[in-house]
Amino acid sequence: MDDSELRTKPAWLEPLFPWQQHSAVVNGRTMSYVDVGPAGGRPVLLLSGNPTWGFLYRDFFAALADAGYRAIAPDWIGTGYSDHPRVDAALTFAHHIADLVSLIDQLDLEGFVVVGQDWGGPQGLGAALKRLDRLSGVVLMSTWAFTGNVGRFHSSARPWTTWQAPLIGQFFMKRLKVLSQQGPSAISKRGMTVAEGRAYHHVFDEPDSDDVVLTWPRTIPLTEGDRGWADMTALQSRLPELQTTPTLLLWATEDSVFGKSYADRLKELIPHAEGPFPIEGADHFIQDDRGTEVASRIVTFLDRTLGPVVPERDRPKPVQPRPRKTPGWSFELHEKPGAAETSWRADPLLVEQELDVRPEVATAIEATTGMRSGRRFWQSAHGHWYALELADLGRGHPSAATVYGLWDRWEPRPPESEIDQDLLDFSLWVGTISPGIDPEDVRRVAARAGVDSD
């Protein structure tokens, strides 16, 4: 993607954040990132959390680059200058991990270091463990990567459980924007300027652009069975694999979200880690309150344990096979997918909120699938699994539908060309069973858009 296609930064932001932002398409969405420092320097991934973006690391770029490191600060999908999907199902724990894995692959990062705060901790570790052969170091601060430790903040009725309660959370987080427009500035210990607060908040100015701000809190696993429990448990079980990876733990002495007990628990799970070392005079957004000090500590740690130069090594480049469709394949629905639900992530690809705008189509789908609500699955000619989910709103036929791709849980999704061909095959099936739709018309329109079913 051309970087010029990113949203333009306002002129007032330039003095505070002069760095150019680049872009990459990860799992079908545009991710923005800052890339500062020598191209051959050791990559240091600077990962933020809720509700911040790359602006949080503005005090780190020069410090790392001047020391010979390559500082890369991506904006998670849903934040900053990246795409802001309006579908919660596109912003799961697993999606964020897979998005970062995709960026690591596309930038071909070797010997990289993960620096994670808040959600940048577990999501960064998840991606790092998927590319463990390329990981060199870890820095964690004001974060967590485990279940079973629920602090006062996350168990409190006000603000936490009230903020993100069903329906109430939609009102507070997305309509009133109580976190995206007030979070970092509300708990600043050093005294944030009005312009700095605006810099954090303006990326959520657009109405209904705050989905991730609500999805993230709801993903924090407080009890078994919660939305993020399975992924966090899987992550925790793999932390011993970091036993040879240089690791630094920092914690803000006044952190109102992830206090000392979280840092101590990380030390128990990663016992070889250095620290946890206290950072005085800092609340949860430790990089903002004490940015220069924290950046200096990280550079000192990296210089002592790794250095800015990544030794060259021979690693064969993966060869992407040319997409091929299975000869003789035909569209066939199943009641169950070919893998356990815990092994894949459901990626919403087609969301139809008005399926019954054409009642005859909704009726045909109900008759063919044998259901008015529920899920059916199919394996495409490329071998990928998909799900069709129908919803019944009481109008006598299916009223809404969503098509999901079912991908390897923490890995990037298949090539977009394959997904396009698979969705065309699905569309041809819909055209075949529905009165008034000619499948050949579907095929011709797709061909004009550059998608061939053969």
pLDDT of residue 2: 59
Gap between the Cα atoms of 36 and 162, Å rounded: 40
0.85 surpassed by pTM:
yes
Gap between the Cα atoms of 120 and 49, Å rounded: 5
pLDDT of residue 160: 73
pLDDT of residue 341: 78
450 to each of 351, 424, 443, 445, 447, how far by Cα in Å? 22, 11, 11, 9, 5
Collect contacts of 223-229 with beta carbons under 8 A, ≥24 apart. 224/147, 227/92, 227/93, 228/93, 229/147
Give per-residue pLDDT as tens, 42-74. Answer: 999 999 999 999 999 999 999 999 999 999 999
Task: Give me the CATH code for the 3-305 domain, please.
Answer: 3.40.50.1820
Low pLDDT (below 70) residues in the chain: 1-4, 314-324, 454
What is the phi-psi region of residue 424: left when phi exceeds 0, alpha when psi lies from -120 to 50, beta otherwise?
alpha
pLDDT of residue 357: 92
Torsion of CA 147, 149, 249, 275, to 10 degrees: -130
